[in-house]
Structure formats: C-alpha cells, structure tokens
Amino acid sequence: MAGCSSAATFKPMAETFALDLTQRPRRLRRTPALRAMVEETVLRPADFIAPLFVVDGKPAPEEIKSMPGQFRLNIADLVKECRAIHKLGVPAVALFPKLDPKLKDDEGTQALNEETLILRAVRAVKKAVPELAIITDVALDPYTSHGHDGVLTAARDDVENDRTVGLLARMAVLQARAGVDLVAPSDMMDGRVGAIRTALDAAGYTGTGILAYSVKYNSAYYGPFRDAVGSAQAAGTRLLSKATYQMNPANRREAIREAQLDAREGADMIMVKPAGAYLDIIREVRDATDRPIAAYQVSGEYAQIHAAARLGWLDLARTRHESLLAIKRAGADMILTYFAKEMAAGLKG
C-alpha cells in the first residue's frame, strides 16, 4: 500500500529503548563474586543436628524404606556414624530408639529402665565422642504399645496429662544421668517443661539443658518417622491421631503462647516442628522470644524431596539446600534434618 514502509525499515525497540534508572538491583547479581558478597543467609555444618535411629542387636544397618538413605543402627554402628558426623563439623545428634515390640506396654515402662536401649546408646556415644552434643527425646511413644506419647486415660480416649508428666520428669533425670547434653520433651503435655526442670535441678543436673518441642503441630508429615521408631506399627496405623495434645495446624497465635509458656518454665531452646510448612511460625516465634530457635525438617519433608528427585521432577542437591536455606532464613538458629551429614560433607568440601 502506498505510504507504508516494510517491517524491515523499523529498528527493533530493544535497540533503541532504555530506562532512566538509578536503582538496578541486578547489578549485585551480575557475577558469582558479587552475589557472594551480598548473600544474607549462609548454611554451615554447625547449623545442623542429625537425627539418628538406634536399634538393639541388628548385625548391620537396616535401611528405613520410607526414608531413603536413613538407617536403624546398632550401638556399635551408631558410634561409628557419630564419629563421622562429628568430623564433618556437625555439633549435635538427636537419638531415637526403636524397641522390640515385646518390650512395649500400655505404660511405656521400658522408658524408666536404667539399662534401656537409649541410655546404653547415650553412654556409648559419650564415651567415644565426648565433644559431640547429644539430645534425647522425652516422650513415651517409642515405648507404649498404643503409640501415644503418654499413658492413656481409663477410657483410653486421651492421654492423661499430669501422670504422663510425672513419668517424663523421671525419664529426663535418667537421660541426664546417662550423659545427655539436652533433653527434648516432644510430648506436648501441659507443664512438662517446668516439671522436668525442677526434677533435673533436684537431682543435681542443673547443667543439663532443655530443648523443648514447644510448637509441635499435629502434622501429616510424621508418617515415615513413626515407621522408623515403630510407633505406627504399634498403634496399628500410620495415621494415629494426636490431636488432643499436638497443635492444630490452623493456629498461629497458639504457637506464640506455647513458646512463651515453655520459656517461662525454663526451656533453654524452643523448637518448631515441622519446619518447611511452618516457616511463618518460625519467624513469629523468633520475633516473640529471645531463646535460641530450633526447627525440625521432619521425615515427611525429607521423604517427599527424595521421592520427587527419584522421579526426576526435582534436583535433589539444589532442593535440599534451598529447603534448609529457607528454614534458616525464616529465623531458625539450628535445624534438625536427615540431610545433616550429606549437607555438612558438601559444605565442607
């Protein structure tokens, strides 16, 4: 058509258009060196706590099918693993026992046996790697035939709070006597932190700290862990409801209340569990207390990252790093994660 020029006579807009900007955030992303200089959150081996599972009498490590790369270890192998973890710069391990079902009963009485598995394991690790901090779980679910974290009411429809707390306080004293650095009540009974602190002090263990599972949600992400310690099988289901004592995932303000209560009762550290789906809660708790904050990247989080990676949907190394970075960025001072050993090895290398 007359008067019309062909498209070839026009210069592409990108060649002529420029923004008049003084602020260009991409300047600081231009090279690896610049990105490193302004990096706000950095992961290091000392940020991690490695959860480990111990079992009696197994001749070789037994892989946990729902948690690829994680094993139930006998005490000798547990000691070897703790040595390796310590050499990588991970400062602490959290130990969890898997008992023979024949040793379990409704009252969880094996938890108060001075030669129970977890106490023998603690003594062995402390003797072999005294510099490594040891954290032990204070809850009855590995010991009860019904899989709950305490003793049941007469109607068997709930956990009896105060009687359970009395047992937990005795359990914590036994763990302190075995040499643990931190006892970690994960049961979510009311008043247990104060009772444990009183019992520890009365027994002379004023130096034993309390890492309180203060903000523990009734989460669907715990299934593989229950397989690992055998509490799911003991209860007959992986979907055991603990809704009367663990927190409702819908609640935010309640998390602050629980954290502040435990701090007042004597908790030295506060935990949020799970971590990945509760980053907002980690930040809220961080802003509400001056106690160190731990966050637990739980078994279901670990398992889903592995499952997606095996299907080729996610890059395992990048995803695990990003997931842990997010937890620390949200405000966690330390992270319990099943990735602890491999992350520490990668960061150290």
Question: Three-state DSSP class for 139?
Answer: coil
Vertex 283: Cα angle to 260 and 297 (nearest 5):
95
Does the annotation count 273 as an active-site position?
A: yes
| Strands, E assignment, 83-126 | 92-98
Region of residue 57 (phi > 0: left; psi between -120 and 50: alpha; otherwise: beta): left
3-state secondary structure at position 209: strand
- Residue of 90, 58, 86, 92 whose CA lies nearest to 72: 58
SS (H, E, C) 71-118: EEECHHHHHHHHHHHHHCCCCEEEEEEECCHHHCECCCHHHHCCCCHH
Of 98, 104, 126, 216, the catalytic one is 216
Provide the token pair at 276: 């990945």
CB-neighbour burial class of residue 318 (10 A; exposed 0-12, middle 13-18, buried 19+): exposed
- Tell me if the bond preceding 68 is cis, omega within 30° of 0: no
Q: Which of 104, 126, 242, 273 is catalytic?
A: 273
CA–CA separation, 327 vs 294, rounded Å? 10
- Residue 349, judged by CB atoms within 10 A of its CB (0-12, 13-18, 19+), counts as exposed
Q: Does the active-site annotation cover 341?
A: no
List active site positions.
Answer: 216, 273
